[in-house]
Amino acid sequence: MEPKLTAGNDYSTNTRNHEVGGLVLASCVYGPGLRTPRHSHENAYFGFVLDGAYTEHYRTKSLTFERLTVAFHPLDESHQTVVHNALCRLLRIEIGRRWVARAREHGLTLNKPQYFRGGLMLSIAARLYQEFNRWDEVSPLTVEGLALEMLGEFSRAKSKLESRPPRWLETIRDILHSQFSERLTLATLAQAVNVNPSYLARTFRRHHQCTIGEYVRRLRVQFACHQLTTSDLSLVEIALAAGFCAQSHFSYLFKLQTGLTPTEYRETFR
């Protein structure tokens, strides 16, 4: 019989944890190359990957979670975890069954694995990690509020995925991911997939819950997050490489999206 892991337990070295009203926050370290037996968890949880990467093998698919991504793992879902060839660290946010029941009351089912790169989910996870590290008497209240924000963002993303986008929208997404630091126009993007610019803008917003410009800014900030934690480049160099015309504008948007200044982010996640 497959093991079912209870709250606060998994195959990692749990270095520190805090429990807050049905939530368990834990700092976890997984050894390079770790391959767990197939198992499930008593609680659903979000995993904020701080270092390294791992792959979850489910019954019908596999998902890989890399550094600075947020992964969601449903409760009772059978899977095997395979850590890649480097030490993996993550902040695990376990969602107790009371929270799952509360989510269901509002029409949200937490029954499918999912992952997030950048955007608001990364910002919430970063703030949770910062709160976890400076724990004080106000932290439980802050953590519960951030957990609610995380579930709300999960709900919005789930609604978006349930509506099937046109195939050409994937082409637009590929262009944005490969050319986010360049000056793109709505007209040239629309021409690339042979659709009307206004139709492109409406369709993109419906499926991504943001404008194309907002999406590009998220990609630039995501790129900057990686550079801040893996390189010694100055803020000016990172801002220019990401496509920003000035460091001041970069710093403003970075804090708007992550809740931290670029310097605070580098100090927290380096």
Q: Among 160, 186, 217, give the residue marking a domain's end.
A: 160
Tell me what pLDDT residue 240 has: 94
- Determine the Cα–Cα distance for residues 203 and 186; give it in Å rounded to an integer: 13
Q: Could you read off the pLDDT of 169-178 as tens digits, one per residue?
A: 999 999 999 9
From 144, 160, 176, the end of a domain falls on 160
Q: Is the dihedral of CA 223, 228, 233, 236 positive or negative?
A: positive
- What does each C-alpha distance from 60 to 35, 57, 187, 224 come to in angstroms? 18, 8, 40, 34
Q: Which of 160, 191, 217 lies at the terminal end of a domain, its last residue?
A: 160
Most confident of 122-131, 207-216, 232-241: 232-241
pLDDT tens-digit profile of 73-90? 888 888 899 999 989 999
Same domain, 190 and 84: no
What would the pLDDT profile of 6-15 be if each residue is shown by its tens digit?
A: 877 788 887 7
Instruction: Tell me the residue ranges of DSSP E strands in 66-173.
Output: 69-73, 80-83, 88-95, 114-117
Pairing between strand 13-20 and 80-83?
Answer: unpaired
Domain assignment of residue 179, given as a range: 167-269
pLDDT at 157 over 80: no
For position 180, what pLDDT does the model report? 93
How many domains would you assign to the chain? Answer: 2
Distance separating alpha carbons of residues 92 and 49, to the nearest angstrom: 9
Q: Which of 64-68, 145-149, 171-175 is most confident?
A: 171-175
Same domain, 35 and 92: yes
Mean pLDDT of 18-42: 89
What is the average pLDDT across 46-53?
90
- Mean pLDDT over all residues of the chain? 86
